[in-house]
Amino acid sequence: MIEEAIHPKDIYLRSDRFPHIWCPGCGLGIVLKSYVDAISKLDIPLDHHVLVSGIGCTARLPGYANVDSYHTTHGRAIPFATGLKIVNPELQVTVISGDGDLFNIGGNHIIHAARRNMDILVVCVNNFNYGMTGGQHGATTPEGARTSTTPYGNIEHSFNLPYIMASLGASYVARWTSLHVRQLTKSIMKAMKMKGFSFIEVISPCPPNFGKYNKFNDGLSQMEFFYENSVLDNNADLSEAYIDFSGKRPLIVGEFVQRIRPSYIELERDLIKRAMEEP
């Protein structure tokens, strides 16, 4: 019944680089799976897909997908992707990076990309800490959580990512956990077909860092937390959708925003047309 074989998704991967660098129980492989699953099902030519990332564990993801990929500097994936997309709108530009990369060091860029309604998809894998550097606290670390730099518990208020992105006018905003694999795949497919700025937050376990400091002994125990506390609510009041790990509040997931608003590329092409027609 069991035999060694080639994984059907290997054609979408740089399989010579496997096994990947991520720790056992890390949710990033699942996000990669969802991404390749989505691009394999969509009618967008594979050659048009471009993956861009900043720096961090999540940012290593594009290096494993068999598409054009760019591993840029810390926090700057979105402006890099902006340049790519404006020059060649045919490209399906997806930024997959971590919470630290996108919302701490790169926070300025993501709010402006959302404001412009730039035609890119941003998948933010949120593990509530800086995984690659050893689990330091960041803007998404829940209040009270322990990390390697908040040994007495985090006293700072944390970002509520879907709430921020929805307030900035993003065309599509969703949140899933890495347990919601099928929903995540469908969400990526839907977001790639949307015009304008799409944002998907994926809540993901980080067993050796955030997990270890917060009584999740392995990836599985954090996944179990997602399983028990996730509540699907597409119409959720996003101001209440922040996350803590007390288990006292639901972990709200769903597709919160889907709206049609002129996208940057549409508006820019129109501007160029007007300027070129000027005598």
Residue whose pair of structure tokens reads 């994984």 in the numeric block: 7
Virtual torsion, Cα 39, 105, 260, 195, nearest 10 deg: -40
Asked if residue 150 lies in contact with residue 137, where contact means CB atoms within 8 angstroms, the answer is yes
CA distance 20 to 29: 8
Residue 63 in the binding site for other proteins (CB under 8 A):
yes
Distance of alpha carbon 223 from alpha carbon 243, whole angstroms: 15
Q: Please state, in angstroms and rounded to a whole number, the distance separating the CA atoms of residues 67 and 256.
A: 29
Instruction: Write down the residue that tokens 């049609």 correspond to.
Output: 260
Site string for other proteins, 64-93 (x = CB under 8 A): --xxxxxxxx-xx-xxxxxxxxxxx-xx--
Q: Which of residues 116-155 bind other proteins (CB under 8 A)?
A: none
Binding positions for other proteins, 201-220, rule CB under 8 A: 218-220
Q: 68 or 266: whose CB is closer to other proteins?
A: 68
Contacting range for other proteins; rule: CB under 8 A; set: 43-51, 209-217, 238-246, 248-256? 43-51
Single residue of 38, 50, 61, 252 touching other proteins by CB under 8 A: 50
- The token pair at 98 is 């971590």
Nearest distance, CB of residue 241 and other proteins, angstroms: 24
Dihedral pair phi/psi, residue 105, rounded to 5°: -70, -30
Binding mask 214-253 for other proteins (x = CB under 8 A): ----xxx--xx-----------------------------
Least separation, in Å, of the C-beta of 242 and other proteins? 25
- Residue placing its CB nearer to other proteins in the complex, 231 or 272: 272
